Structure 1
Amino acid sequence: MFGFTQRGFSSGAALLAGLGLMACEKKAAVGLPQVYTGPLMETTNVVELVSDSAKLKFQLTAPLQQQFDNGDFVWPTGVKVTFYSADGKKTVVNTLTAKYGKLDKAKNLYTMRGDVRVANVPNQQKMSTEEMFFDKNKQVIYTDTAMFVKVETPTEYIDGYGLTANQNFSRYSIKRPTGILAKTGAGL
């Protein structure tokens, strides 16, 4: 035993009992517990290759990728997707770039925002808008019908609202065209 006599403690057991009571004191919880909803993992300088039957389908590159608990991915600082030809020769067919991207894993749906640009390399067609979706299951690119889009081909400029296109942007339709302007010197 300790044998303390100071401040009324005559034995070490009494001192330890007093300390034990102080240590077991519970404090009331303040507010609801905080649930973390941020990314589970962050990866920098991402290069992701997606293939089917040993043929490269597309390549995704991004400076930063965040993965969340539900399986979704976010590219908050920009993303570029390069689509390749189906013949497996790694010929670039189409590129898609945006300042922000998100993959909804449950729907297999990519959302691209901020200076979104799509370019079909063989057909020399370009499209720009502020928000676009890529449905990987249906292999289509589309925008909301209220979203303004600009398309440039070798012979004309077309703008309007709402766009639907195939994955490689070789065929497209604008829901509400507002203008078509022929390029000068395009042979029209």
Structure 2
Amino acid sequence: MRYLSIVFVAVSLIACDQPEAKEPVEYKGPLREVENMEMFYTENDHVKVKMQAALVYEFLSGDREFPKGVYLEFYTEEGALESTLKANNAYFFKEQNLWRGRGKVEVKNIAKKEQLNTEELFWKQTDQKIYTEQFVTIKMQDDVIYGTGLDAKQDLSDYVITHPYGDVGYQGEE
């Protein structure tokens, strides 16, 4: 009996010296990091979109983060530069196939010489639409429009400002 007591005490002491097993922690950070990325999206052998980013993080979910910003160029079927989009940082939500740009977001329509500025903008690539609920400024050749909220084509060729501010002049024929 005394022998069993000694074995029990020895096993207890050894068990106390063993570190406790911890639960594994699931890694949720980026799986891949890309620097100085330049990517082209083509259709029928024509470049449709050119994307540049200084840093890209790719996650297990397929989401991508662009913490140092993103710059995109959109081209017509004929290969002419149609519009540009840049943002201080961006995020691509793969499941929704949705882009979000933040911080000094700028969209330019080259042909119309118009420019949109806002602090946050969403881009639905499949619909070729951009939208925001934030304050927007649209600079045209002869006028500037301010407002809150916007729904537009990605090239800014057609847009609606949800709540425009100030005088919006009519430039049609009388």
List aligned pairs for 1:123-138, cutoff 5 A. Answer: 123-138=112-127
Number of the residue aligned with 1:39: 30
* Alpha-carbon distance between aligned partners in 2 of 1:37 and 1:141, rounded to the nearest angstrom: 29
List aligned pairs for 1:1-188, cutoff 5 A. Answer: 26-30=18-22, 32-87=23-78, 89=79, 91-144=80-133, 147-180=134-167
In structure 1, list runs of 5 or more residues that go unmatched: 1-21, 183-188
* Alpha-carbon distance between aligned partners in 2 of 1:85 and 1:163, rounded to the nearest angstrom: 23
Residue 181 of structure 1 and its aligned partner are, at CA, apart by 6.5
Which string of whole-angstrom CA distances, capped at 9 and with x for unpartnered residues, describes residues 74-117 of structure 1?
11011101101122x2x111000000011111211110000000
Number of the residue aligned with 1:17: none
| Partner-residue secondary structure (3-state), 1:138 | coil
Residue 123 of structure 1 and its aligned partner are, at CA, apart by 0.4
In structure 2, list runs of 5 or more residues that go unmatched: 1-13, 170-174
Task: Note if contact 1:76-1:99 (Cα within 8 Å) is conserved in structure 2.
Answer: yes
* Alpha-carbon distance between aligned partners in 2 of 1:42 and 1:70, rounded to the nearest angstrom: 14
**TM-score normalised by L of structure 2:** 0.84
* Alpha-carbon distance between aligned partners in 1 of 2:93 and 2:42, rounded to the nearest angstrom: 19
Task: Note if contact 1:126-1:152 (Cα within 8 Å) is conserved in structure 2.
Answer: yes
Residue 53 of structure 1 and its aligned partner are, at CA, apart by 2.0
* Alpha-carbon distance between aligned partners in 2 of 1:83 and 1:108, rounded to the nearest angstrom: 18
* Alpha-carbon distance between aligned partners in 2 of 1:134 and 1:96, rounded to the nearest angstrom: 10
Which amino acid in the other structure matches residue 28 of structure 1?
E
* Alpha-carbon distance between aligned partners in 2 of 1:106 and 1:74, rounded to the nearest angstrom: 14
**TM-score normalised by L of structure 1:** 0.78
* Alpha-carbon distance between aligned partners in 1 of 2:160 and 2:168, rounded to the nearest angstrom: 16
Which amino acid in the other structure matches residue 59 of structure 1?
K
Cα RMSD after superposing both structures:
2.0
Which has the higher Rg, Structure 1 or Structure 2? Answer: 1
Residue 52 of structure 1 and its aligned partner are, at CA, apart by 1.6
Identity %: 33
* Alpha-carbon distance between aligned partners in 2 of 1:176 and 1:157, rounded to the nearest angstrom: 14
Which amino acid in the other structure matches residue 49 of structure 1?
F
Number of the residue aligned with 2:8: none
